Amino acid sequence: MDSPSLTIGRLAGAAGVGVETVRYYQRRGLIGTPHGAAGVRRYGKAELARLRFIRHAQRLGFSLDEVAGLLDLDEMTDRNAARKAALDKLGEIEEKIHRLETMRRALADLVRCCEAGPGAEPCPILHTLSGVEELPLP
């Protein structure tokens, strides 16, 4: 696969994405659109590596805009910038985890109230969601 030899379908399959995903990334400027003979575009190792990079970064929570910034970095000279991007993302993920844990505790409390309360009273879950009582969320 030294020379461009993959069709868009084979490239997509090798990267574990759909053809429309490849086209979308091309429209976003994340990967280039090669020119091919007789209208048949061929892709090579570089495009496959770039697609895999994008997918790995997305699995770590990076948005496509953030991925575009990462793609602009040089792995030999931009270590500090890459580390800062990773630390920023880690901070965002930790904040999301904190918010989700707060939501989980609030819902668990509502479920316990519902299970413990007598059946003649209003449902504490629906009562709380109606806005009568404030939810303890951030």
Q: What pLDDT shows up at residue 1? A: 42
Burial of 55 (0-12, 13-18, 19+ CB in 10 A): middle
Token pair, residue 109, equals 């409390």
Q: What pLDDT shows up at residue 81? A: 96
Q: What pLDDT shows up at residue 136? A: 57
Per-residue pLDDT tens, the chain, 138 aa: give them: 456 789 999 999 999 999 999 999 999 999 998 877 777 789 999 999 999 999 999 999 999 999 999 999 998 999 999 999 999 999 999 999 999 999 999 999 889 888 887 777 778 888 888 885 555 555
All structural domains of the chain, each given as residue ranges with its CATH number in brackets, are 1-72 (1.10.1660.10), 91-138 (no CATH)
* pTM greater than 0.95 (yes/no): no
